[in-house]
Amino acid sequence: MNKVLDNYGATIRDLRSTIFHMPKIDLHRHLEGSLRLTTLADIAHQHGVDLPSMSPDELRPLVQVVDDTPDFHGFLAKFKLLRRFYSSREAVERIAYEAVADAAADNVRYLELRFNPVALALNQGFSFEDVADWVVQATKRGQIEHKIQVRLIVQIGRHEPQYARQLAQIAVDRREDGIVGLDLAGDEINYPIAKFVDVFQWAKNQGMHITVHAAEAGPPGNVREAVEQLGAERIGHGVRAREDISVMDFLSRNKVTLEICPTSNMQTGIIPKLSQQPLFAFFKLGIPVTVNTDDPSISNTTLTDEYLVAISGAGVPFRALCRMVLYAAEAAFLPETEKKQLVTWFHEAIKKFMPGSYLDPL
């Protein structure tokens, strides 16, 4: 342990063990990118999903980044095939339950899992309301059985504005069932936010929290738009903010939390090299940054992996990583009383891994 904290001369194995045993928070994880390969093969067998292969090993390159050339649209293309696997209520519930179980197995103690009812429903003709209820029920069961706190975020695709109001209503109607927010995601290059402003402002007035994918592939100014026009409290990715000092200043002054996903940023080609990942640079500028998985199965990663990448690849000191866990707790989409309890719990838990005050300036 001392080797890890004094660094950082620990072996990668020691560091991985320390990080694995730490309690962690994932604020940015997509349900549709969290499917086990073995589950995909099972569903394909059971429901006759027409695939080039039923073998998990042969399915891997179709739904997971293996040796792909980094490319944003290539990364998004993985989801097109995945939409074919939500073939029954049982399949949707199994996928949602396993996403919770897999997070808990990695010592994630608080998870915000986002899902797109359109992706889960449209290919099979299910109603959006039904699939939302199936996800709610499965995650509730997963929480109880795996001792993890989970909240849900309804994701709206930028290319599907025709469903935005219905999805926002679904989220609002299920506030008491653990749905706490809305997310806008997808291709920000070709689909601007104009068609979503009224819906997101309405949802926020109904008590929904807002997070928006912005400045991932799109320009830095998308961050300011997301905050000022959609009411975003957090930004998914936001890494291209590094290109505009005024946007970085805006994030720091307004304490807008960034949900950064290091491996995903590499695989989409947004960040060419891990050494160029701005995670720690943002941190030093006073921007609340968090480390997340994005799509664990597509990226073949865990949150332990992402924390390790942040330290060993992106140059984040272990003490700063501990503070990022607190940033995540402070940015959780929870009522203030529950959030304070979460922050207090994580503060006490993290202290066991970081003796002394990790809250002091570096």
Active site residues: 216
Beta strands in 120-233 (DSSP E): 149-157, 179-185, 209-214
Host H or E run for residue 108: strand 108-115
- 186's tokens: 């997808």
Distances (CA, A) of 101 to 35, 56, 94, 144, 150: 11, 20, 10, 10, 11
How far is 169 from 333, CA to CA, in rounded Å? 18
Q: Are 151 and 190 in contact (CB under 8 A)?
A: no
Let me know the angle formed at the C-alpha of 259 by 254 and 261, rounded to the nearest 5 degrees.
150
Tokens read off for 24: 């962690």
* Exposure on the CB side of residue 349, measured as CA atoms within 13 A: 20
